[in-house]
């Protein structure tokens, strides 16, 4: 089971994809040719019976769902087959499996700069001005480097052996390589570094070759930009396109679902279609429900008239491209649906065969925005705030773009301002999460979490791998939540997922927190039961005395404010997992020099402020440079932190939660 409790608020859904046995129809066609149709069948219906009635053939299924990709019978049009399927009593819906292509594959004939210029050097890559200088990466990296964040790149694959990507790629800790066993029981065998959905294997390598319109190297270039901007994040390669940049709605939707299951907090999509593809839209909607940030390129047609899905989907951060002077590049699409802009002109990044290339396009602006999101999430794990931080901190570029005011999003991304906004924003007083254990050999998994922002309290349940469209019951502290809170039983969606949030101040789809669950720190046991009252998932919150119990995570934050005449501000965070405790203190607008830090009057050590910023990280094992002093333990009980210079307290902060009390 791939439930991972980390310093990020990660809500996972089991949406992985497995491939069925090849049929005679598949044997006659290219094994990697996308199917013609997508069907969603009723619970209990047989896809074999449906195929028998209509002459269709299954190519693949999204595991845990009733979505299938089918080939139409030879000699019959796809549209007629779709109509017949939609009249079938066992079919909920049948749709065309639309072509989805990388942004370059869509615009390759009209975009004169569509070809990468190879032959560049690592120094070109490391020192490119519009990234390193314009985006102030040196200062940004003092605040965040994307640690603990997984960014999925759904593209043509990634050249994992490129020297510039060494140490930057995600490795599945739950899968043993090359043993031909599905160790983590997710429907994929030996997928230690992502999956190739186009060719159905565990090698998502960016392959050279293809036709004269080849965009081979596209995914590697994107991964290199993310690695430069968020060097401590981990990049999850997922191949959904061939060397010519062609894929399908079903392949991309499956790749998105796989990324979410693997624990990606961010998905980077440099692809598009003019069709509002329903399954792709639904996959993105489910990813967003689970707290995943989805970033997509807005397209290279140079217009605001042509739809560009998924970038203009409301739940997606759509990214336009700018040049070194923050002007819209002539090929970049624009419009009211753009969220932010990012550099996308004459960028340098790793390419195939271990080399480097120069390339331009919104395809490369999007991953820069995705990498900025990784920096933000590493500093502020609440992904519900990531988009607003990105947009509100963006630098306005309307003045440099007369005639395009308001059509290039909120402005050009500004990582440093975004990270400063994190330290100036509201703090998460408490977050605690516990992985829910399944009671049988099903695919079910889940997480229960509680969090407190000031006067607002929340309890959330996320479950996945359930039976699609089936009803379930939630039992907390031994009591079933009554119909007054839920109206009726919880129903799993078509992807087998449930997400429900209770709040003292509910908005949108949130439910009011029952009086019996206030305060949320008193929540202990959480159970999800099926309609026959069998326990499917359960676990208990346990008090955190120093380290969190196995499978549990605890975090609390405090706002740091100046006590002197200057305007220093910042935040302190205490995190506890089963094997590590971390204390992080960040303060902005300090004079350069050395400062003493104290916790409850106990000295933590001396730390330096550079360029007006101080960051101190202390851990229980000293793995990040400084060990938490014995006299400051248990760190989960820290009440107050102080920044001191020459015996004078310059800034301080107090935790609203003064212990690791949860589930008592």
Copy the structure tokens of residue 332.
Answer: 């970049």
Nearest to 218 by CA among 130, 158, 151, 295: 158
Annotated catalytic residue 244: no
In this structure, the dihedral spanned by the alpha carbons of residues 9, 14, 15 and 19, taken in order and rounded to 10 degrees, is 140
**Cβ atoms 326, 399 nearer than 8 A:** no
Annotated catalytic residue 363: yes
Nearest to 628 by CA among 594, 661, 585, 581: 581
Query: Which among 363, 378, 449, 652 is annotated as catalytic?
Result: 363
Tell how far CA 510 is from the center of its chain: 22
Query: Which among 95, 140, 155, 244 is annotated as catalytic?
Result: 155
Rounded Cα distance between 366 and 363, Å, is: 6
Copy the structure tokens of residue 123.
Answer: 């120094």
**Antiparallel, parallel or unpaired: β 91-96 and 117-120:** unpaired
Residues whose CB falls within 8 Å of the CB of residue 104, separated by 6 or more in sequence, listed in order: 111, 114, 215, 218, 245, 300, 361, 363
**Cβ atoms 308, 293 nearer than 8 A:** no
Helix (H, G, I), strand (E, B) or coil at 646: coil
Nearest to 569 by CA among 589, 596, 595, 585: 589
Q: Which residues of 95-127 are buried (b: 16+ CB within 10 A; e: fewer)?
A: bbbbbbbbbbbbbbeebebbebeeebeeeebee
Nearest to 326 by CA among 140, 129, 139: 129
- For tokens 């995705």, what's the residue? 370
Query: Which among 54, 141, 218, 286 is annotated as catalytic?
Result: 218
Burial class (CB in 10 A: 0-12, 13-18, 19+), 181: exposed
Residues whose CB falls within 8 Å of the CB of residue 27, separated by 6 or more in sequence, listed in order: none
Q: What are phi and psi of 33, to 5 degrees?
A: -70, 125
Copy the structure tokens of residue 364.
Answer: 């490369």
Annotated catalytic residue 218: yes
Rounded alpha-carbon distances, angstroms, from residue 625 to 64, 419, 616, 619, 620: 44, 22, 10, 8, 10
Rounded Cα distance between 571 and 559, Å, is: 5
Helix (H, G, I), strand (E, B) or coil at 1: coil
Rounded Cα distance between 505 and 44, Å, is: 39
Q: What are phi and psi of 423, to 5 degrees?
A: -70, -20
**Cβ atoms 534, 655 nearer than 8 A:** no
Rounded Cα distance between 25 and 456, Å, is: 57
**Cβ atoms 602, 632 nearer than 8 A:** yes
Q: What are phi and psi of 137, to 5 degrees?
A: -65, -35
**Cβ atoms 537, 439 nearer than 8 A:** yes
Residues whose CB falls within 8 Å of the CB of residue 187, separated by 6 or more in sequence, listed in order: 16, 17, 18, 63
Just list the catalytic residues.
Answer: 155, 218, 363
């Amino acid at each position: 089971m791939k439930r991972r409790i980390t310093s990020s608020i990660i809500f996972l859904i089991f949406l992985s994809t497995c491939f069925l046995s090849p049929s005679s129809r598949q044997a006659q066609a290219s094994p990697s040719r996308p199917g013609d149709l997508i069907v969603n069948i009723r619970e209990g219906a047989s896809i074999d019976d449906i195929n028998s009635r209509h002459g269709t053939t299954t190519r693949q299924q999204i595991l845990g769902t009733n979505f299938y990709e089918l080939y139409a019978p030879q000699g019959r049009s796809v549209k007629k087959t779709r109509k017949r399927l939609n009249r079938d009593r066992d079919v909920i819906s049948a749709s065309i499996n639309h072509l989805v292509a990388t942004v370059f594959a869509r615009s390759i004939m009209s975009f004169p700069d569509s070809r990468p210029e190879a032959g560049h050097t690592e120094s070109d890559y490391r020192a490119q001005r519009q990234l390193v200088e314009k985006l102030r990466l040196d200062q940004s990296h003092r605040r965040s480097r994307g640690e603990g964040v997984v960014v999925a790149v759904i593209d043509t694959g990634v050249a994992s052996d490129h020297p510039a990507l060494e140490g930057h790629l995600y490795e599945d800790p739950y899968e043993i390589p090359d043993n031909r066993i599905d160790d983590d029981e997710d429907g994929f065998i030996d997928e230690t570094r992502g999956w190739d959905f186009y060719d159905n294997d565990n090698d998502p390598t960016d392959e050279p070759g293809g036709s004269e319109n080849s965009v081979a190297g596209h995914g590697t270039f994107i991964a290199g930009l993310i690695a430069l901007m968020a060097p401590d994040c981990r990049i999850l390669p997922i191949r959904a396109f061939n060397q010519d940049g062609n894929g399908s709605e079903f392949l991309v939707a499956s790749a998105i679902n796989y990324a979410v299951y693997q624990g990606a907090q961010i998905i980077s999509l440099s692809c598009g279609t003019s069709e509002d593809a329903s399954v792709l839209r639904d996959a993105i909607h489910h990813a967003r429900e689970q707290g995943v940030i989805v970033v997509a390129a807005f397209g290279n047609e140079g217009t605001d008239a042509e739809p560009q899905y998924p970038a203009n989907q409301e739940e997606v951060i759509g990214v336009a491209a700018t040049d070194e002077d923050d002007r819209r590049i002539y090929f970049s699409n624009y419009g009211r649906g753009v969220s932010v802009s990012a550099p996308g002109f004459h960028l340098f990044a790793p390419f195939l065969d271990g080399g480097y290339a120069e390339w331009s396009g919104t395809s490369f602006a999007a991953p820069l925005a995705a990498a900025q999101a990784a920096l933000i999430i590493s500093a502020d794990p609440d992904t519900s705030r990531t988009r607003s931080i990105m947009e509100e901190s963006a630098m306005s570029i309307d003045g440099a773009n007369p005639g395009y005011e308001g059509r290039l999003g909120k402005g050009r991304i500004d990582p440093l301002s975004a990270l400063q906004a994190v330290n100036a924003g509201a703090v998460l007083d408490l977050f605690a999460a516990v992985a829910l254990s399944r009671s049988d050999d099903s695919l079910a998994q889940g997480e229960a979490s509680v969090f407190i922002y000031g006067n607002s309290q929340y309890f959330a349940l996320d479950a996945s791998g359930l039976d699609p469209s089936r009803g379930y019951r939630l039992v907390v502290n031994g009591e079933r939540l009554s119909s007054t809170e839920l109206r009726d039983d919880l129903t799993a969606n078509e992807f087998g997922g449930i997400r429900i949030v209770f709040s003292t101040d509910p908005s949108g789809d949130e439910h009011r927190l029952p009086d019996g669950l206030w305060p949320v720190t008193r929540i202990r046991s959480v159970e999800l039961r099926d309609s026959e009252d069998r326990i499917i998932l359960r676990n208990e919150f346990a008090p955190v005395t120093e380290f969190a119990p196995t499978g549990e995570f605890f975090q609390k934050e405090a706002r740091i404010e100046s006590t002197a005449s200057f305007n220093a501000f910042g935040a302190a965070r205490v995190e506890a997992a089963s094997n590590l405790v971390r204390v992080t203190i960040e303060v902005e607008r300090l004079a350069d020099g050395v400062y003493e830090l104290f916790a409850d009057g106990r000295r933590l050590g001396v730390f330096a402020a550079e360029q007006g910023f101080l960051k101190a990280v202390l851990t229980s094992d000293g793995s990040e440079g400084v060990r938490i002093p014995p006299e400051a333990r248990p760190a989960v009980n820290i009440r107050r932190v102080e920044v001191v210079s020459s015996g004078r307290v310059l800034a301080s902060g107090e935790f609203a939660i003064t212990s690791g009390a949860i589930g008592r």
